[in-house]
Amino acid sequence: MEDLLKVKAKIKEFTAECGHQKSLELLELLPTGKMLRSKLILKIAGVNEESIQLCAVVEMIHAASLLHDDVIDDAMTRRGKPSINAMYNNKTSIMFGDILYSIAFTKLTFMNLKIAYNISNAVTLLSIGEMIDVDLGETFNTDYDVYLDMIYKKTGSLIQASAASAAILAGLEESKYATYGRNLGIAFQMVDDILDITADEATLGKPAMADFKEGKVTIPYLKLYEELDNSGKERLKSLYKKDLNEEEIAWLKNSFATTKALKSSIELTQKLGFEAIEAIKDEGNLALIDIMQQMCDRKF
Ligand code: FPP
Ligand code: MG
């Protein structure tokens, strides 16, 4: 999409302005993702200088959070390519994240105050979300509300702020778009959590079945735990954070295949998707329905 190229060019321009050659070199090594947040902003606010700048700011914050996340998760790949921490080291990944994050915040000071508030508040939430996620990695969490709060903060908050900020730019009703973004964001993270189980490494661009081993009891595991009998529950708990052998992987896959855990997780993402669309249904923006559907049906 031509418009996304404008966002990429703006990110490069913002980064070049800081006059640090190595940052520009590192930027070239960052694989571009789906740019969901930019697609959303441009479909709500249209394509103009202000919306492209907002996209660049949000994408830079998102990239910074992933540079930090890959250090926290010790992830060697990102979007199918070696991560910056793998190619360089943890320090480089953290510092480059700090640089992108700070440039984005400097640019935010030139923007509408309500937008600046929405975005900066979302970064506080996503940082808290990441901390909750890491802390949850210590225990086998079976509380759905705790999981939901974590994914809202970690992933939903910045998507919500992107949609709300785009609505502010376009003079539209902020709260409707915030609700849309919030539900879209939560569903997006749940789809990610489902794909960790259903997709393979080549499609995902990162190792599959990694969440449970990393200590993440995501929505399909929560649903599976609910459905299993007591001995199944105990078996599932005993596999938590373990390097699984073939027999254990087979048991897990069979459990997913013979219960409704995956099906009901998918239904939940569809329900959230419906709630997202419900919030903006009178706004006459069909592209937002498309974004929601693409997101639910995605394979990676
Ligand atoms: C990916 O989660 C992580 C996030 C969406 C947020 C990470 C946030 C921080 C590290 C806070 C710091 C923020 C800034 C702006 C510097 P995941 O590990 O579940 O997803 P993955 O499989 O894509 O890695
Ligand atoms: Mg991660």
Average pLDDT, the chain: 95
Give the per-residue pLDDT at 1.
Answer: 66
CA-based nearest residue to 294, from 211, 178, 187: 187
pTM (2 d.p.): 0.95
The CATH number fitting domain 112-300, selected from 3.40.50.1100, 3.10.20.30, 1.10.600.10, 1.10.287.3510? 1.10.600.10
- The CATH number of 1-111 is 1.10.600.10
Looking at the DSSP bridge assignments, the partners of residue 78 are: 81
Specify the range with the lowest mean pLDDT, choosing from 62-71, 72-81, 119-128, 221-230: 72-81
Please state at what angle helix 49-72 crosses helix 2-17, rounded to 10 degrees.
Answer: 70
CA-based nearest residue to 199, from 210, 189, 188: 210
**CA-closest residue to ligand 1 atom 16:** 65
Ligand 1 atom at minimal distance to the Cα of residue 196: 22
Q: Please indicate whether the domains covering 1-111 and 112-300 agree at the CATH topology level.
A: yes
Specify the range with the lowest mean pLDDT, choosing from 118-127, 156-165, 204-213, 271-280: 204-213
The domains of the chain are located at 1-111, 112-300
Q: Tell me how far apart the alpha carbons of residues 294 and 282 are, in angstroms, rounded to a whole number.
A: 20
Q: Tell me how far apart the alpha carbons of residues 136 and 75 are, in angstroms, rounded to a whole number.
A: 18
Evaluate: CB of 68 within 6 angstroms of ligand 1: yes
**CA-closest residue to ligand 1 atom 11:** 127
Give the per-residue pLDDT at 207.
Answer: 76
Whether the predicted pLDDT of 121 surpasses 80: yes
Q: What are 34-59's pLDDT values in tens digits?
A: 999 999 999 999 999 999 999 999 99
Q: Which of 107, 130, 197 maximizes ligand 1 atoms within 8 Å of its Cβ, making it the mutation to test the pocket? A: 130
**CA-closest residue to ligand 1 atom 17:** 69
